A and B are shown apart, each in its own frame.
Chain A
Amino acid sequence: ETGVTQTPRHLVMGMTNKKSLKCEQHLGHNAMYWYKQSAKKPLELMFVYSLEERVENNSVPSRFSPECPNSSHLFLHLHTLQPEDSALYLCASSQPGQGVETQYFGPGTRLLVL
């Protein structure tokens, strides 16, 4: 157990649905990340939050909307997704300021868009 939890673990949604993914870290870290992992492709960074402020947005479509209400929680709000958005969505956290910080990952949410 890495101290990063994600819910739900599995999600099936239609293209017109709205859903949210939740991530919580219990490591006392100040930075949180969303990644997308598709089959046969490397992990793609989507968003980075540091001290609840978004510091990086990797050209992600607006149908993905992140929210970081505090340093322990991170959400990814989903609406009008496309089938190609089906993937494993991973949350990670790290503690900046201690050299090159290591990112610790949650178990992921497996998303299927029909």
Chain B
Amino acid sequence: EDQVTQSPEALRLQEGESSSLNCSYTVSGLRGLFWYRQDPGKGPEFLFTLYSAGEEKEKERLKATLTKKESFLHITAPKPEDSATYLCAAKGGTSYGKLTFGQGTILTVHP
């Protein structure tokens, strides 16, 4: 059975303090690894898709990387507006359209 585990559950940073979020996955035939951002009371907002080990993608202060077992979301010099829950999801080669989600990392950035 496909599994996705995110760590830490919660992360508190000071503004400007860089850090990384981890997403470990066990998925049969990984076809894509997705990162989403979710603000309270809203739906997940798409950030990145990674397809193969070694791939990296960047957007503003965020950079996502992928290995054969895990993905990292690096946050460089975060700002308070980066505070949100970050969700990782993996798509395997078996079920149609099914994404397996992790439980998320709640990021709080203090000014």
Contact among A50, A96, A102 with B34 in the assembled complex (CB-CB below 8 Å):
A102
Whether B101 pairs with A100 at a CB distance below 8 angstroms is no
Whether A45 pairs with B91 at a CB distance below 8 angstroms is no
Complex alpha-carbon distance, A55 and B94, angstroms: 13
Complex alpha-carbon distance, A41 and B87, angstroms: 11
Whether A100 pairs with B31 at a CB distance below 8 angstroms is yes
B111 at the interface (CB under 8 A from A): no
Q: How large is the interface on A (under 10, 10 to 19, 20 to 34, 35 or more residues)?
A: 20 to 34
Residue of B nearest to A91 (CB): B43
Complex alpha-carbon distance, A47 and B97, angstroms: 10
Whether B97 pairs with A42 at a CB distance below 8 angstroms is no
- Least CB distance from A11 to B in Å reads 14
Chain B residues with Cβ below 8 Å from A45 are 98-99
A94 at the interface (CB under 8 A from B): yes
Chain B residues with Cβ below 8 Å from A42 are 4, 100-104
Residue of B nearest to A9 (CB): B41
- Least CB distance from A95 to B in Å reads 11
Chain A residues with Cβ below 8 Å from B87 are 43
Complex alpha-carbon distance, A101 and B31, angstroms: 10
Residue of B nearest to A43 (CB): B101
Whether A100 pairs with B4 at a CB distance below 8 angstroms is no
Q: A42-B4, A43-B87, A100-B32 are in contact. Are A2 and B43 (CB under 8 A)?
A: yes
Contact flags B20-57 to A (C-beta < 8 A → 1, else 0): 00000000000110101000011111100101000000
Whether A56 pairs with B99 at a CB distance below 8 angstroms is no
List 30 A–B pairs whose Cβ atoms lie within 8 Å, in order of A's numbering: A2-B46, A42-B4, A42-B102, A42-B104, A43-B44, A43-B99, A48-B97, A50-B96, A50-B97, A55-B96, A55-B97, A56-B95, A56-B96, A56-B98, A94-B97, A96-B97, A99-B51, A100-B31, A100-B32, A100-B49, A100-B91, A102-B34, A102-B49, A103-B46, A103-B99, A104-B46, A105-B46, A106-B43, A107-B43, A108-B41
